[in-house]
Structure 1
Amino acid sequence: MRTRLTANEPSPRSVFLDVPNMPWEETKFAGIRCKTLYSDPSGMATLLMELEPGAQVPLHEHTAIEQTYVLAGHFIDEEGECLPGQFVWRPEGNTHIAWAGKDGATILGIFLRPNIFADGRKFFTETDGTEA
């Protein structure tokens, strides 16, 4: 076992996920499913999300940077559209509605802290970071 460079203790082990064989989790948003690749108590999360055609992430504000990479389909908001292989990041304070295009969308989303939704719904906004 390798030792850390900054402390005289074992290096923590990597965590490998078999993502294709992980089940999709239903979310509180119609037409949106996810696979949780990482989450922690601070609300940091990495999610693989699948949005059916026209599925919408309702009005919300980002409390920290959000990063999104589009794997398939079209991911759209009032400011623009991302196609497969494209990337968008939104700064803290950005408030928007996002939705999938006519072919749906598969995206990888990285969140540093929980978002705040206008309608009060929770989506990775609980203090334990596990509510989807």
Structure 2
Amino acid sequence: MQTVAITPSGAHLPYEIKHMDDIGWETIRWPGETGKMLFHPRPERPTEPNAGILRLEPGAHHPLHNHDFAQVWYILSGEFKIDDTLCKPGTMIFHPDPHFEGKFETATGGDILIVQYPGPTTGGRPIYAGRFDMDKRRDVADERTDL
């Protein structure tokens, strides 16, 4: 991590630089997904977004489910079907707060850049611990998917 000096007034914080090769792949809650969250909320930094790369194996999927935070996805590689829409590299998807994520699947696998951030209207916060750093994935039936 690289940082720069704080401004003389101390009013603004410096930027941070992280490289994805400095962080290992972690198990994510949905089948066939791993990720590298370069930034994520912690007690000392609760408004930091979940930001990083999702890597999806061919056949990865998740069911329709909802969230109270906002997020943006940018497809880097692979093809992904969300409900009945095929999304290819270069596609950006915005999920406002609150939002639902449609049925998601991929035959090709691929990588998605994601940024999840506190919902400006709901105040809902993205969750890192227990979702992006799982020791063992739970069965999809045991995940909250209610709408």
Is the 1:60–1:96 Cα contact (8 Å) retained in structure 2? yes
How far, CA to CA, are the matches of 1:95 and 1:80 in structure 2?
15
Determine the structure 1 residue equivalent to 2:140.
Answer: none
How far, CA to CA, are the matches of 2:15 and 2:129 in structure 1?
21
Determine the structure 1 residue equivalent to 2:33.
Answer: 32
Structure 1 counterpart SS, 2:21: helix
Determine the structure 2 residue equivalent to 1:16.
Answer: 17
Residue ranges of structure 2 left out of the alignment (5+ in a row): 120-125, 133-147
Whether 1:78 and 2:83 are equivalent positions in the alignment is yes
Name the one with the larger strand percent. Answer: 1
**Which segments of structure 1 move beyond 4 Å, counting only runs of 4 or more?**
none
Higher mean Cα deviation, 91-100 or 68-77?
91-100
The root-mean-square deviation of aligned C-alpha atoms, in Å, is 2.5
Tell me the amino acid that sits aligned with residue 29 of structure 2: K
Structure 1 counterpart SS, 2:102: strand
Is the 1:57–1:98 Cα contact (8 Å) retained in structure 2? yes
Residue ranges of structure 1 left out of the alignment (5+ in a row): 115-123
Shift of 1:62: 2.8
| Normalised TM-score (structure 1) | 0.72
Is the 1:62–1:90 Cα contact (8 Å) retained in structure 2? no
Tell me the number of residue pairs that the alignment of Structure 1 and Structure 2 aligns. Answer: 117
Equivalent in 1, 7, 25 of residue 3 of structure 1: 7
Determine the structure 2 residue equivalent to 1:104.
Answer: 109
| Normalised TM-score (structure 2) | 0.66
Identity of aligned residues (%): 23
How far, CA to CA, are the matches of 2:103 and 2:115 in structure 1?
15
Flag the 1:87–1:39 CA change in 2: closer, same or farther, 3 A.
same
Shift of 1:111: 1.1
Structure 2 counterpart SS, 1:20: helix
